[in-house]
Amino acid sequence: MGRGCCCWRRFGAGGADMARIELDLAHAYAPNPKQDSDYALLPLKMTFEDGGAYALLGPSGCGKTTLLNIMSGLLMPSQGSVKFDGVDVTQASPQARNVAQVFQFPVIYDTMTVAENLGFPLRNRQVPKAQIHQRVGEIAEMLEMSGQLNQLAANLSADQKQKISLGRGLVRPDVSAVLFDEPLTVIDPLLKWQLRRKIKQIHHELKLTMIYVTHDQVEALTFAEQVVVMTRGRAVQVGTAAELFERPRHTFVGNFIGSPGMNFLNGVACAGGLRVADTVLPWLPGQSLPPGAVKLGVRPEYVTLVAAQTPGALPMQVAQVQDVGTHVMLTARFAGQTVKARLSSDAARMAQGDTVWLQVLGEHSCFYQNEEIVA
């Protein structure tokens, strides 16, 4: 494509070449998909803004890697288009799209030094030596590898090698986007936070568009400004960490984010309030729902222990009390339904079989029908 040259001019001028990525597509690995389950990715429309930090989060098999591969150009969607800055690149190769990628496992040259490895993508594009030297120095500084530039990569630990892979993904300032596929898999758990911090810092400093695939909620929520939560080929919510926690748009998100996830109680909306089994919880001022079956969603962090007969509370039977160190996890049942509550360690003593009043309907309540949020 001869793009290396033209990009280099922009690089030389100090400008970046980031792109706004627009997706309007679907993907099925087999021809003629008929039902939802035939799709690896159900039809979706999504925009990744220039310079943003995004994560694609979901369990294995949710379609997140398929989506990443479609953005990078490793995979062509079976229908629809990928646009970079308004230009259709659906048919374009990863090189032509000018994306950098960081994979799960280190991809580096053992026979080269750290500096040679870091500079490789620049050398490949005939960047002048002096500029390579300067840029490699900057990236090494960011990754705290300045002291190791002249070491052979072969002798480094897996952590260090993966840091080089990260550095290589970040070394070209003229890329459209940097795509990460579970980049911290091989990193020692105790060192992970430092690399999470590095990646975040680097995003702040370089303002590159970064898209990060992971099944790990900590990694996604910590890194990204916007998290795309995926399940079974569908992007069920795009939002900030706070939005996913406070207002999950889908019950899947409610359950997937948080540990334990959101509680769901089956009830029926009626004029006076929400009926759960034979008890009616009166609506809060301003709250109401059209009559019908509904699921009440409330996070264990927002279920509170209250006095008997408090509005919004149910008398529940204690099934389990776990001292999980920093707090107490209470599991309680009401008419065959289970609720978990995260209570402070100072909370009143209670034992299995006791009746406690737990407030489940309050300002943090969410309501779901057909698994989608309705209020």
Partner 1 sequence: MHLTLEGIDKVVGSQTWLYPMRLQPCSGAVTVLLGATQAGKTSLMRIMAGLDVPSHGEVQVNGHSVVGVPVRKRNVAMVYQQFINYPSFTVRENIASPLKLGGEKNVAQRVNALAEKLHIEMFLDRYPAELSGGQQQRVALARALAKGAPLMLLDEPLVNLDYKLREELRDELSALFAEGNSTVIYATTEPGEALLLGGYTAVLDQGELLQYGPTAEVFHKPQSLRVARAFSDPPMNLLAAVAVASGVQLEGGPLLAVHLPESASRKLTVGVRASALRVTAQEGDVVLPGKVELAEISGSDTFVHVATLVGEVVAQLTGVHYFELGAQVTLYLNPAQAYVFDGQGLLLLAPVRGGGR
Binding residues (CB under 8 A) for partner 1: these are 59-60, 190, 193, 196-197, 200-201, 204, 215-218, 221-222, 241-242, 244-246, 255-261, 300-301, 322-327, 329, 342, 345-346, 349
> In whole angstroms, how close is the CB of 153 to partner 1 at the nearest point?
25
> In whole angstroms, how close is the CB of 347 to partner 1 at the nearest point?
10
Strands 273-276 and 279-282: antiparallel
> In whole angstroms, how close is the CB of 222 to partner 1 at the nearest point?
5
SS3 237: strand
Give the rounded distance of the alpha carbon of 289 from its chain centre: 31
> In whole angstroms, how close is the CB of 49 to partner 1 at the nearest point?
19
> In whole angstroms, how close is the CB of 70 to partner 1 at the nearest point?
23
| The amino acid at 286 | G
CA atoms within 13 A on the CB side of 257: 30
The token pair at 152 is 């052979």
**CA dist., res. 158 & res. 21, Å (int):** 32
> In whole angstroms, how close is the CB of 213 to partner 1 at the nearest point?
15
> In whole angstroms, how close is the CB of 245 to partner 1 at the nearest point?
5
Per-position b or e across 233-259, b if 16+ CB within 10 A of its CB:
bbbbbbbebebbbeebbbbbbbbbbbe
CB atoms within 10 A of CB 320: 12
Instruction: Please identify, using beta-carbon distances, which residue of 31 and 204 lies nearer to partner 1.
Output: 204
CB atoms within 10 A of CB 362: 18
Instruction: Please identify, using beta-carbon distances, which residue of 85 and 246 lies nearer to partner 1.
Output: 246
Ramachandran area for residue 232 (φ above 0: left; ψ -120 to 50: alpha; else beta): left
Task: Provide CB contacts within 8 A for 116, sequence distance 6+.
Answer: 109
The token pair at 52 is 């943003």
| The amino acid at 280 | V
Instruction: Please identify, using beta-carbon distances, which residue of 199 and 274 lies nearer to partner 1.
Output: 199
Instruction: Please identify, using beta-carbon distances, which residue of 113 and 255 lies nearer to partner 1.
Output: 255
Instruction: Please identify, using beta-carbon distances, which residue of 80 and 258 lies nearer to partner 1.
Output: 258
Instruction: Please identify, using beta-carbon distances, which residue of 19 and 199 lies nearer to partner 1.
Output: 199
Task: Provide CB contacts within 8 A for 256, sequence distance 6+.
Answer: 57, 58, 59, 217, 229, 231
Strands 41-48 and 177-181: unpaired
Q: How far apart are the first and last CA of the chain?
A: 51
Instruction: Please identify, using beta-carbon distances, which residue of 17 and 181 lies nearer to partner 1.
Output: 181
**CA dist., res. 339 & res. 358, Å (int):** 9
**CA dist., res. 231 & res. 272, Å (int):** 35
> In whole angstroms, how close is the CB of 257 to partner 1 at the nearest point?
4
> In whole angstroms, how close is the CB of 119 to partner 1 at the nearest point?
27
Instruction: Please identify, using beta-carbon distances, which residue of 133 and 327 lies nearer to partner 1.
Output: 327
Instruction: Please identify, using beta-carbon distances, which residue of 42 and 321 lies nearer to partner 1.
Output: 321
> In whole angstroms, how close is the CB of 206 to partner 1 at the nearest point?
14
Place of tokens 């990204």: 224
Instruction: Please identify, using beta-carbon distances, which residue of 221 and 281 lies nearer to partner 1.
Output: 221
Q: To the nearest 10°, report the CA torsion of 40, 42, 45, 50.
A: -20
